[in-house]
Amino acid sequence: MLKGISYYLLSNAWDYFWTEMGLALTMSPEGNPLILQFINRYGNIDGLLYHKIVMTILVITLLSIVYKKHPMMTRYILYIGSILMFVGGTLWIPIIFKT
């Protein structure tokens, strides 16, 4: 599970970096309403960071509970979540370099 968590944390950092760059360099709004609540309350950089920290702690805590009964399912969830997070961050790249 540690390998899956490290992939998840790396993809989270990747997504944070590109999302922050995208929000700072373009006029594109954030599409996630939950992240918008954090951004409106704490600002662009801190709001996005707080959201990432809270969601990461929540996901890892819940998956550590599930891991006791279903270790393979937990690994698959971490790998799929890592891939989706990586793709989500990567989607900002064409928007950033288009401007």
Q: Using alpha carbons, list the distances in angstroms from residue 32 to 36, 39, 54, 60, 81.
A: 6, 10, 15, 21, 16
- Total domains in the chain come to 1
pLDDT interval class at 99 (50, 70, 90): low
Confidence at 98, pLDDT banded by 50, 70, 90: confident
∠33-36-38 over CA atoms, to 5°?
A: 120
The answer to whether 8 touches 56, Cβ cutoff 8 Å, is yes
Which pLDDT value is given to residue 57? 95
Distance between CA atoms of residues 9 and 95, nearest Å: 24
Range of the structural domain that residue 20 is part of: 2-98
The 10s digit of each residue's pLDDT in 23-36 is 999 888 888 999 99
* Inter-CA distances, 55 with 5, 27, 28, 95, 99, Å: 13, 25, 23, 25, 30
pLDDT (0 to 100) of residue 29 = 84
Residue 30 — φ and ψ, nearest 5°? Answer: -75, 135
